[in-house]
Amino acid sequence: MRKHVTTLIAAVALTAGAAVSTAPSALAAAPDAAGGTARAAAARASHPAANVNRNVRRVPATPAAANVIYSPGCSGTTLPIDCTITEPVVTQRETTYPFSFLPGDHVTVTAGGCVQTGGHGLTWKRYVDPASDNDLYHGLITVPGATADLARLVNVVGRPYVVGGRGGSLKLGYEDDGYSDNGYTAHDNGTGNQCLNSVNAYVRIVVS
């Protein structure tokens, strides 16, 4: 009987010892697991674009901006998307276009051409870098989450941008002190011949 009790006590002690020896390992692993989970969540939060499907159509089937010409590439659904907007609105300070940017988009912008600014004589001006003595007639752009609001195109073209935040819709604008006589009719060579052999204004956006 004494031998049986001794054996039983030894077995209980052995089991308790095993439990004690494994407990620290489990407790030590718990913070690592929790910390790893927290770190993974933080990484996902700091890189929201990782879960965004950016291979989507960026313009509706029938864009709403009147008298604006969209290239076929604007309707693409697979990156890279290469969209050219010809004859952007220049009869008001700013216009929102139905072209969307998503978080994580890599964006480059090029632009050029000329705009009829109205008045007497030769009145067309370059859209991006107009030659003017009153610091007007600049084309403007907003790529939400990337550029400043209505930044001058001359400061944006050719530079790479990455869209942050929630993204949003493209805005283009124009600087003038009177908009009613602006447009793309009655082409001339422009003030100081700056629009000699030029085309109407355009903005090209490549999203990758």
Q: pLDDT for 152-177, tens place per residue? A: 999 999 999 999 999 999 999 999 99
- Return d(Cα 136, Cα 134) in angstroms, integer: 6
Report the predicted TM-score, pTM, of the whole model to 2 decimal places: 0.75
Residue 91: strand, helix, or coil: coil
Query: How far does the chain reach from its first CA to its final CA, in angstroms?
Result: 82
Q: pLDDT for 171-201, tens place per residue? A: 999 999 999 999 999 999 999 999 999 999 9
Do residues 190 and 124 make contact, with C-beta atoms less than 8 angstroms apart? yes
Strand order of the β-sheet with 161-162 is 69-70, 81-86, 202-207, 106-112, 161-162
Dihedral angle at the C-alpha atoms of 129, 131, 133, 136, nearest 10 degrees?
-40
Identify the burial level of 179 via C-beta atoms within 10 angstroms of its C-beta, where 0-12 means exposed, 13-18 middle and 19 or more buried.
middle
